[in-house]
A and B are shown apart, each in its own frame.
Chain A
C-alpha cells in the first residue's frame, strides 16, 4: 500500500507541477479595488500627520510671536522724563519682587529702591503699578526700555528701610511727560499675492454602479499643479476678502488602454472618432486618425475596430503605450475670505471660499519615451464648475510690506466634472501653496 500510495502521490505531484489555469476575467479588478481601499487609510494617515505638523507649527509660531511681543526678559521700563526730574528705576524681575506681600512684612527689605536726594520710596502701590501687565499698558510713546542696571543721569539708587506698617508716600514732584507727537501709521489694506503649488488630485464618488467602480479601478491621479495671482482687501483687523485668478492643471492616467501609431492607412472612419474611452471625467474621443486604441486588460474602448476585426500586431502598427493620460486645465476665479487668527510676526489665517472654474483646455495623449502622442479630448465636461476651498495660511512677515506665505488648501469641486457614468464623481485636490505677498 505504501508503495502504491507513493506512486499515486508522485502521479499527482508531477502531473500538477507547473500546471496553470487562467483565472476568470475581472478578478484583477476586485483585487485592485481591495488594494486601493486598503491603501487609502495610509493617505488619510499622511493627511492627518500633515495637519498635526501644521497645527504644532502654528502653536509654536503663536508662542514664539507672543514671546517676541513681550520683549526680552529682565528688561525694565522707565519714563522718558526731563533730565532734571526724578526718575523711578523700577526693575521688573519677577524672581526678585514677586510676590508683593514680601515687601509689607520685611522691614529690612533691600529690594526697594529709592532716589537718594528726594527720599522717594516705592510702596505697595508703586509696585502694583510697576507690575508687568501695567507696564505693558504704559503708552508706548512715553516709555523707553532700559536694562536693570542702567542709571539715568547719574542718579544713584539705594535700598530704603521703611518702618513697618507705615505706607510710604511718594514725594515725586513735577513728574511731567513731554508732549508727544503721535502720528498714526496708515493702515495697509490692500495686498497682492502670488502663490503656486503642486496638487494631489482625486475623486469622491457617490453612487456605486458597476461601470463607475470599473472605471475608477483603472484610473490613477497624477500630480497636478496650480498657481496664480490674487488681491486681497482688509475689511477689518481680522477679516479680509480676496480674489484673483489662478490656473490649475489636473490630470489622471487611464490604465489598460493600449495605443499604437500608424493606423491612418487602415482608418476608414473619415473624420469621425474611431475610438471612445469612457472615464470618470467624461468620454475621451480620438481625434488623431493615426492612433489605434485597444483594451486587452481591464480597460474599456468602444470601437468598431475590435480585436477580431483588426489586429494592430499583424498590421505592424507601432506600439506607443498601455495607458492614456487625460489632462484638464482650468482658470479659477476665487472669492476667498480670510480670518486672521494670529496677527504677529508669524500670522495664521483661516481661509475659506468659493471659486468658479472655467475649463480652458482638455487633452488626452499617450506617452512614449517622453514624447506625447495626441489622442483626442474629453467630451461631456462641465465648462464651468464651482468649487469650495478650505485652508490654513501661515504668513511670515519679512517687513511691514512683504511676507512669505504657506497655505495648505483642500479644494472640493461642488459640481462634478461630468455625469457620463451615471454616478456623481466629485473631484477634490490638496495642495500646499507657497508664495509671497506685498501689502500697500
Chain B
C-alpha cells in the first residue's frame, strides 16, 4: 500500500502546478516562491516516519497511504450546519472544509482590531504578512509543515493594535463537512501589538463519520506585554486525521495561556512550539486528552527559553480507554544565559483498559546554571485505595471510577482562566466521563 505510486505525496506533487494559481496570494512573488520551496521540501521529506525522533510514537503511514483527495481548486464552500459551538456573542469566523463561510461569520471587532481570512488579508494587506508568514514554522525540516506551507489556504488572521484589549472571546470554528476524503491546510496568524490582549477559542469539529484530514497551522506573534489566551477544543469526526501545529514567539513580558482539549479524531497531534524571545515572559501550556476505541492522540510541546527570567508552566492529563493510545512529549530548552528561568511540567496519564497505551517523553535541555527546571510524568491506572474508600461508602464501581477520573482532570480544567471556556470545556469533560460510565 505505502509504495503505490498514487500515494499521498505523489498526488500532492502532481496537483501543485494546477493548484498554485488558485491559491490565495497567487500574484505575490514572495509567496509563490515560499510555496515552491516548501513543496520542494515536502517532495524530499514526505510525511514523517516513526523513525524521525519527534514522531517516534505517532505513525502517519496510514495517512500516507490513504486515498485522500488533494484540496480542490474551486472556491465554493459548503454551508455551515446549524448547532456549531458558540461560547458567547463575540466576533466569529466559520470555516467549512477549510474554506471561510462568510455567511455564517460575524467578524466585526472594535477599532484597532481586525479579524479576517488569510485570503482576504493577502489581498488587502500583503505587506503585513510578507516578513512573517512561515517565519516561525520550521517547514524546512518537517513534511507536515512543508505541506501546509505549500498549500496553505484560508485560515484566520487576527491583528490587534498596540494597547487594544478585546474583552469578549473571539471564536473560530473549523468544521469538517460530510464531503469525505478531503484535506485542507489552513494557516492562521495571530499578531498582538504591545500591550494588546485577546482571547481566542478555536473549535475543530466535523460531521459524524466524515473522513478528512485537517492540518491547521497557527503562527502567533505576541508583542511586548501582550496577553493571549488561546483555547482549542478538538472534537473532530471519529474518522478524521488532525495534525495541528502552533508556533509562537513571545516578546518581553508577554503572557500566553494555551489549553487544548482533545476528544475527537482517529489520529491527532497537537504540537506547540514557543520561542521565548524577551525577558519576564509567562507561558502556560495545558491540556486534556480523552480517547477511547482505537483513537490516538499526541501532544507535543517545546518551550525554548532563549533569554532569561521566563516562567513556564505545563500540565497535561490524559485518560485512555479501550485500545486508545496517548502520547505526551514535552521539552524545555534553556539556552546559555537564559538565567533565572523557572519551568515546571507535569504530565499524567490514566489507563482505564488493559489494552490502552501511553507513552511520555518529557525532556530537559539546559545550558544555563541559575535555573529551576523540573518535570514529572506518571502513567498508571486509577488508585485502588480511593476506589475502595468510595465503594465502602456504598458508591457503585462505575460511579466511583467516574468520580475519580473527574477528580483527576479537575486541576487541569481549573488552569483555564476564562470562565465561560472553563465551564464549557468542563462540561465536555463531564460528558465524556458520563459516556464512559454508560458504555462500560
Q: Do the two chains belong together in a single complex?
A: no
Taking Cβ atoms with an 8 Å cutoff, the residues of B that contact A are: none
